[in-house]
Structure 1
Amino acid sequence: MTDFHQQIADLEADIDALSDAAERCRKSMIVARLAVIAGVLLVGASLSGFVRTDALILVIGIAATLAGIGLLGSSRGSLEHITSKIRASEARRDELIDGMNLQTVQGG
């Protein structure tokens, strides 16, 4: 029975680590969205004349937009992969717990 307990503890540790990684992906996605928004606003402001039209500002805006799009896609893919690993680990943990044939204890 100790083997079950160790396997469950290991799965719990894996689930916690994966949950932390998923949270980092979510934070990266927020940063990526902000980069896309800032880049689009910078390009738009530069082209419309609200900001001094300088090639460097335009290139920075385009670079921020493209980098944000790339980071967003990468983070989303990683998040989906991590989420599926969390589900699989949780399912395995549930199988182990069900296999232990635990009995319900009545409080009294």
Structure 2
Amino acid sequence: MTEDDPTDEISDIEARIEALAEIAERCRKFILASKIAIAGGVALLLLTILGLLGSGQITALGSIALVLGGIVSLGSNVSTLRQTDAAISAAEALRSQLISRIDLRMVADAPMKLM
């Protein structure tokens, strides 16, 4: 291997892409949980306002907190997901560039020897 051989760097980039993909998947799970929290908070607030669940102020405040917490979590994770996707794209572009610099050789088919 020479100093100009980018295979180690390509391996490092692929490991980084894998780590970023895991982060992106975690963000997607949190985004789903945030949407569920928002929907649950809205439903609970509507039930409280309509008097179907009782008229507890604590329930109303809890549902509002659930909606607001879901919105904050959703915004944060969407932002992180966008940044992670951009980092993945940049790493993939760098990996492609490094692969294109490698001097690839054709491997000819060798005749099989029967023993």
TM-score range, shorter chain: over 0.9
Moved over 2 A (4+): 103-108
In structure 1, stretches of 5+ residues that fail to align are none
The answer to whether the aligner puts 1:41 opposite 2:64 as a matched pair is: no
Deviation at 1:107, TM superposition (A): 4.3
Aligned residues: 108
The answer to whether the aligner puts 1:91 opposite 2:83 as a matched pair is: no
Q: Which has the larger radius of gyration?
A: 2
% identical aligned pairs = 36
The answer to whether the aligner puts 1:12 opposite 2:14 as a matched pair is: yes
Q: Secondary structure at the match of 1:101?
A: coil
| Cα distance in structure 2, aligned partners of 1:59 and 1:107 | 73
Aligned twin of 2:80: 78
In structure 2, stretches of 5+ residues that fail to align are 111-115
Bigger fraction of residues in helix: 1
Q: Cα gap change, 1:39/1:105 in structure 2, threshold over 3 Å: closer, same or farther?
A: same
TM-score (norm 2): 0.89
For residue 61 of structure 1, what is the amino acid of its counterpart? S
- For the aligned residues, what is the CA RMSD? 1.3
For residue 60 of structure 2, what is the amino acid of its counterpart? L
Q: Secondary structure at the match of 1:51?
A: coil
1:45-83 per-position Cα deviation (integer Å, ceiling 9, x unaligned): 000111111000000000000000110011000000000
